[in-house]
Chains A and B, each alone.
Chain A
Amino acid sequence: MSHRGYAVETLNLAVAAFLLLNLLAGLGRVHRGPGAADRMLAALLFGTTTVAVLLLLAEAMALPALRDVALLLVLLAAILAVAFTRIPRRPDGAGR
């Protein structure tokens, strides 16, 4: 691999690691909430972050099939949101 190619690969992995760190930091929102919607939105954001990480990994690892995984996650992201909205609102307005 050329010197330049190696640098690009390292950069890709570094950005992927940064995004993963972001995702792990977002877990704090899942913990603190306070509402169910806050937690669900955090999970949806994790899905978007995972798509970005997969696209970076597809480049860094030279595995184009990982783009299909990202495509699948984008396609199916809506299902979680729809399933969440089917949960009836709690009387006190706050989630768990």
Chain B
Amino acid sequence: MGLAFDLLLAGGLLGLALQVVASRGLFRSVVLFIALGLLMALAWARLAAPDLALAEAAIGAGLTGALLLSAYRALQPAEEAADPGPAALPRWGALAAAVLSGALVAALGWAALGLEAPAASAGREALARLGESGVKSPLTGVLLGFRAIDTLAEVVVLLVAFLGARVVAEPLQRAGPGPSAPGSGEPVLTAPLLRLVVPMGVIVAGYLLWSGGHQPGGAFQAGAVLAALGVLLRLTGRLQPAAATSPAERLALVGGIVLFSAIGLAGAGTASAVLAYPEAWAYPLILAIETGLAVAIALPLTLLFSGSAGLRWRER
């Protein structure tokens, strides 16, 4: 039965991916892409990779869908004026591209099938020495222990992406959800929905952060949930775009990176190396870093969605 499920899932993924790029109409493609994200989460689940399924669910359901719908909204007047359809490429060009990419995928698959599994992989060694990392979850142990330098660089990349978006801010302003239409009142259900979802979301983010130490979860998933809540508050007008980044926002943007770097550098003196933790303190230090990182991941994502330098609570 498992095989039947997997075949159905794989076939559905392939068909859906084809339709996302081939179907006419932007809105249809957006909806199909959202469905593709759901099936991807199922695929990660079937591959017994709940960490990736969590990340896919948080990013796909919380951020990508809202981002694509907002982009569709910004593009709508242009699309109404002229609907060129997806066929900008001549037919033979599309065919040649498809054949070449198919050949490339087949060649890569052929090469991968011929590879012999290495006797001693880094993954096995990391699993065997997980006890030294101070946490019980293999993924967190690798991300914040054995390969901490990669994680630090990734969070810096997110900050740089936000700064880069600010440099070219003018065209991005339109991509945000924009102010609500004057005169049209808020739907009745918005306020009760927010009162329910936002506190729940904060609890879930905290739960994911905490569970990162011993089961799937961690800073990235928690940050994505917080960012999704920021997107929700921005979409409903509770958070308004601001032209300047406030000192508190600046602190949140760089706080996680500074904390991570400081603890990492201190490792040169208190532990064996830079980015190593003193053994007795490994778990609390990792938890502190993850908390800082969750905020340092959530805020740039929300600000990137918002297309603004900062966010302010709406004056009531």
Contact = CB atoms under 8 A, between A and B. Distances in A.
A61 B46 CA distance: 8
A13 B2 contact: yes
Interface string A24-68: 100100110100100110110011001001100100110101101
Interface stretch (B31-39, B95-103, B153-161, B253-261): B31-39
Interface stretch (B51-59, B108-116, B126-134, B166-174): B51-59
Counting chain B CB atoms within 10 Å of each CB, the highest count among A30, A54, A66, A69 belongs to A69
Given A36-B27, A72-B204, A78 B193 contact: yes
A69 B235 contact: no
Interface of A: 10, 13-14, 16-17, 20-21, 23-24, 27, 30-31, 33, 36, 39-40, 42-43, 46-47, 50, 53-54, 57, 60-61, 63, 65-66, 68-69, 71-73, 75-80, 82-88, 90, 95-96
B76 interface: yes
Contact of A79 (B26, B28, B42, B228): B228
A79 B66 contact: yes
A76 B62 contact: yes
A20 B9 contact: yes
B245 interface: no
A50 B9 CA distance: 12
A75 B200 contact: yes
Given A61-B48, A73-B41, A80-B34, A86 B4 contact: no
Contacts of B61: 47, 72-73, 76-77, 79-80
Given A13-B2, A68-B54, 20 more contacts: A20-B42, A23-B35, A27-B32, A43-B34, A46-B34, A61-B45, A65-B217, A66-B45, A71-B204, A72-B221, A75-B200, A76-B58, A76-B225, A79-B228, A80-B69, A82-B190, A83-B65, A83-B70, A88-B181, A96-B26
Contact of A39 (B31, B39, B54): B31
A69 B57 contact: yes
Contacts of A21: 8
Interface stretch (B140-148, B208-216, B279-287): B208-216
Contact of B31 (A43, A63, A68): A43
B87 interface: no
Interface in B1-34: 1-2, 4-5, 8-9, 12, 15-16, 19, 23, 25-28, 31-32, 34
B81 to A, nearest CB: 13
A86 B50 contact: no
B35 A43 contact: yes
